Structure 1
Amino acid sequence: MHTPIPDYLHEVLENTRDDGEVATYIPELARANPDLLASALCMSDGKIYAAGDIHERFTIQSISKPFVYALALQERGFETVLDKIGVEPSGESFNSASLDPRTQRPENPMVNIGAIATHALVRPEASRDERFEAVRAGLSAFAGRELDVDEAVYASEMGTAFRNMSLAYLVRSVDGFTQDPADIVEGYTRQCSILVDVRDLAVMAMTLANAGINPITQERVVDEHVAQQVLSVMTTCGMYDAAGDWMTQVGIPAKSGVAGGIIGALPGQVGAAVFSPRLDPVGNSVRGVQAFERFSGDMGMHLLKSPPLSRDVIRHANRRVSGQGEFHVIELQGPLRFSSAERVMRELEQIPNDRKTIALDLARVSSVDDVSRRMLMEGLRRLILEGHAVYLVDPRSSIPNRDLGDGTFPADAASLETLGLALTEGS
């Protein structure tokens, strides 16, 4: 049996309305074929589904902004970057010549003035060419393959870069960077001229959604907290003046580009991309927006869609008898987050102070975040203080640090075998 996902992608593309206009203010982009259309999904294990003109390459344009922002954060640290570039939605057009009136910073890295300042933060002491090579190598790491530049688009954009040049001089005038503004604009324009296809963009989006680890190469490109910061800014600023409509209707951290690409990164689930050159008045791909609206509605991708109820975390809670006596057994399942860990704490509260052995089975737990780990360990520590012997069944190593806070650890599953207690199959 073949998976229906490619057929679904084809159906979504075929049912988008073909309106909007290609970008005309960049001569080379004005020559783009307006009928090109493609989409791709990249899963957390690197599996890619794609449909349409998937081999067509186009320039990344403003979709480069979140990735270069990630490189700057990774290299320079949060304090340095936030000192130069804010994170507030601007409420103005993408090429607005505006700075925060209080801080004199660009308001966010997703508009041109902020993206130019971001480019300057990467390898600030390097030459123009060395800085661009660091950017190109970084974007290639996000994509999982070497990316090239469309020199024709670069030359065309540089021939009309008067607005961006004025923005660079404005940032330079308030000490937003110290380099030659002309060098920064040339590097930024070359950054926007990097060539990708729709599958590259899906992989790049999934790398952000995968906490900074490329799903194809398994290389950590940026730290988890960097990926989280970038996704946060994409959520509020990635779709320009349409960010509010996008968040309510689609609900996926996203970024668009004037060549017709849109990426969406749903944390822990999928990286998505659509390419169609026809743009709406805000500068977003018309058919790309429509496709993402379908993805969100059909597949439940909205970031704020309610997760399953936390009570589902407890699969079984009962007593069992072995040759060594009676045991309290609690079997958990699924991901452990704060709300589900709180449900487990309430279950542990119900265990009577009878000093009987307790077995906590995590064989079916898929992941445990840090706050849940600490809650769980504290709950077990208190049970031990009450006189219970506590055993932890954790074949997936969901809890790498089992310190109970006093230098002790709960006993492991192997010790249960000597007591004649069999738990979940496979544990």
Structure 2
Amino acid sequence: MREMLKKIIMDNRELTKKGRVADYIPALSKANPEDLGICVIDMNNNVYTAGDYNKKFTIQSISKTVALMLAIMDNGEEKVFNKVGMEPTGDAFNSIYKLETKDIAKPLNPMINAGAIAVSSLIKGNSSEERFERLLSLFRKISSNDNLKVNEEVYLSEKKTGNKNRAMGYLLKDMGVLEGNVEETLDIYFKQCSIEVDCVDIANIGLFLANGGTILETGEDIVTEHVARIVKTFMVTCGMYDSSGEFAIRVGIPAKSGVGGGIMGAVPHRIGIGIYGPALDEKGNSVAGYGVLRDLSKELNLSIF
């Protein structure tokens, strides 16, 4: 497995030159666009790595999967999906215009920014600090890493430049979708996106989902298999932004990307995958990471379809 992963990384490293790092969040522009790494963890808890797998990066939109789980745990499925839809969108992840469309009374799904901000507003707690700490605790538990923390530089950079997300928040409040204080919810959202991880961390989260919401190492059930299935389904239909349909055909793995360069994969009952490659394509996905997942899926016959 390790030799295969090394070869896949080597074969796709050239693709890093075809992308560019996210620069609309200034702190993210410091990433090395040539970095590329992978971690695969199987159902026997064997860990396989290759490339720049231990480089730190911020989780960004991959965090939406974990926030969705906590929101459902706190409120139940019915309330969450009364606020956020279940349909994929052909629009960019940070699109705002459909929120003003008369026949759409809520964000289309929890994997776009508007939907994720609405989901973050549903996390319970007596203060924004307590709400975020509950979310961070869940991240730490399912990643098997008690040391996960927020990258303060990225968090402050996102908070300073997140004007479009801020506009979404206030529009959602006006629509009656967002609950509570807008700025407090945005603070939770910016912090969750700024949690610092590596490939092993997100591979562990992917493994947790692949194992139906149960931590493999301890056997602890965190969410029901039904909730885990909901999250994996959103990963298939919406997880790779507006490339999700093409990705489902070419790769066929439930996956969630983030503009920090990460991609998390969860192949049901088989493996969790963590990939890092900060050079992004025009849709916001890791361009070389996409190639790595395509080759890995082909080699191991991982497509769920």
| TM-score range for the pair, normalised by the shorter chain length | over 0.9
Show structure 1 runs of 4+ deviating over 4 A: none
Give the number of the structure whose residues are more often strand, by fraction: 1
The residue matched to 1:30 in structure 2 has which SS?
Answer: helix
Distance in 2, matches of 1:37 and 1:217, equals: 30
5, 9, 13: which one aligns with 2:5:
9
Percentage identity across paired residues of the two chains: 39
Q: Higher relative CO (CA 8 A, sep ≥ 6), structure 1 or 2?
A: 2
Aligned residues: 299
Task: Say whether the 8 Å CA contact 2:257–2:264 is kept in structure 1.
Answer: yes
The residue matched to 2:273 in structure 1 has which SS?
Answer: strand
Distance in 1, matches of 2:49 and 2:174, equals: 45
The residue matched to 1:159 in structure 2 has which SS?
Answer: helix
Offset of residue 219 of structure 1:
2.2
1:76 has 2:75 as partner: yes
- Point out where structure 2 has 5 or more consecutive residues left out of the alignment: none
Matches within 5 A, 1:34-53: 34-53=33-52
Offset of residue 233 of structure 1:
1.1
Distance in 2, matches of 1:32 and 1:216, equals: 32
Partner of 1:143: 143
Distance in 2, matches of 1:177 and 1:216, equals: 36
Matches within 5 A, 1:154-193: 154-193=155-194
Distance in 2, matches of 1:23 and 1:36, equals: 14
Partner of 2:121: 120
Distance in 1, matches of 2:153 and 2:230, equals: 33
Partner of 1:295: 296
The residue matched to 2:150 in structure 1 has which SS?
Answer: coil
Partner of 1:86: 85
Offset of residue 86 of structure 1:
0.6
Partner of 1:130: 130
The residue matched to 1:39 in structure 2 has which SS?
Answer: strand
Offset of residue 90 of structure 1:
1.6
Deviation string for 1:330-377 (max 9, x for gaps)?
xxxxxxxxxxxxxxxxxxxxxxxxxxxxxxxxxxxxxxxxxxxxxxxx
- Point out where structure 1 has 5 or more consecutive residues left out of the alignment: 305-427
Larger Rg: 1
The residue matched to 2:256 in structure 1 has which SS?
Answer: strand
Counterpart amino acid of residue 243 in structure 2: A
Distance in 2, matches of 1:220 and 1:192, equals: 25
Task: Say whether the 8 Å CA contact 1:141–1:221 is kept in structure 2.
Answer: no
Q: Which of 105-114 and 74-83 deviates more?
A: 74-83
Distance in 1, matches of 2:89 and 2:173, equals: 20
Offset of residue 21 of structure 1:
0.3
Offset of residue 139 of structure 1:
1.1
Counterpart amino acid of residue 76 in structure 1: N
Task: Say whether the 8 Å CA contact 1:116–1:185 is kept in structure 2.
Answer: yes
Distance in 2, matches of 1:63 and 1:55, equals: 17
145 and 59 in structure 1: CA distance in 2 versus 1, 3 angstrom threshold = same
Offset of residue 26 of structure 1:
0.7
Give the number of the structure whose residues are more often helix, by fraction: 2
Distance in 2, matches of 1:126 and 1:294, equals: 46
Task: Say whether the 8 Å CA contact 2:169–2:178 is kept in structure 1.
Answer: no
Partner of 1:247: 248
Distance in 1, matches of 2:103 and 2:141, equals: 36
Distance in 2, matches of 1:45 and 1:298, equals: 19
Task: Say whether the 8 Å CA contact 2:53–2:275 is kept in structure 1.
Answer: no
Distance in 2, matches of 1:163 and 1:285, equals: 22
Distance in 2, matches of 1:191 and 1:210, equals: 23
Counterpart amino acid of residue 131 in structure 1: R
Partner of 1:203: 204
Counterpart amino acid of residue 61 in structure 2: S
Query: TM-score, with normalisation over the residues of structure 1?
Result: 0.69
Task: Say whether the 8 Å CA contact 2:122–2:179 is kept in structure 1.
Answer: no
Partner of 1:216: 217
Partner of 1:409: none
Distance in 1, matches of 2:218 and 2:33, equals: 33
Offset of residue 103 of structure 1:
4.8
